[in-house]
Amino acid sequence: MNNVQPSTSARLRARFADEQAAARRSVDRAFPAVAAFLASEDAPQLTDADALDAYRKVYAEERTRVIKLLDSPGATLTVMCPPWCADDHQEDMTRGTFLEDFAHRGGEEALALSVDGGTEDVIVTEITQYPFGKTLRTPTVVMWPTLGMNAEAEMGPDEVRALAEQVRTYADALAETADELLKIREQGEARRRADHEGRWTR
């Protein structure tokens, strides 16, 4: 298995190529006259390198957050989220957070089982990193059980088989999470510093 994570530049080039192709298809369908002009020699010329550079700036802006810090009045921190972070950081930007409590989160992966006529999460995992914290400075999977002590379910053979299938599916999801975590860590210390480069402003 190849566990090497593509570089940010390679991912951006692939994303740029996909979106560029989609945009061209949309223009071809909706605005054929414009598409014909853009394909002509009279159209303004933009090299792929220039277009990719502009796209990089847009990508950086999409993932850049200005965090309100509670450590000092008026303090802020500008960070660019790593590609795996699924948190919009709205609460960090509006209500604020202490520097060591700021975290990137990859989105929860839960094992949900049928209990007492409903569903309840039994185990929840999530890739988490506190880049400026005392612990978890490296991306780590955090796991916590959530099933209540008094919850129970009565199961027959079919329900037990369904449970087994749910557990197998969750096991596959955990294996994928482990692969993703390995790829994230392989990016190394240099990438961590680049992704979390920020500064205090007063």
Residue 82 maps to a domain? no
Q: Tell me whether residue 146 is in a domain.
A: no
Higher pLDDT, 13 or 156: 156
- Give pLDDT, residue 60: 60
Q: Alpha helices, DSSP H only, in the chain?
A: 8-30, 32-39, 48-63, 90-94, 157-186, 188-195
Domain limits for position 22: 8-62
Residue at 12 is within a domain: yes
The pLDDT of residue 151 is above 60: no
Q: Are 60 and 12 in contact (CB under 8 A)?
A: no
Does residue 80 lie within any of the structural domains?
no
Residue 74 lies in a domain: no
In a domain, 39, yes or no: yes
Query: Is 48 contained in some domain?
Result: yes
Out of 1-10, 102-111, 121-130, pick the least confident. 1-10
Which residue did the predictor score with more confidence, 126 or 15? Answer: 126
Predicted local confidence at residue 1, as pLDDT: 35
pLDDT over 90 percentage in the chain = 18
Domain count, the chain: 1
Most confident of 82-91, 113-122, 186-195: 82-91
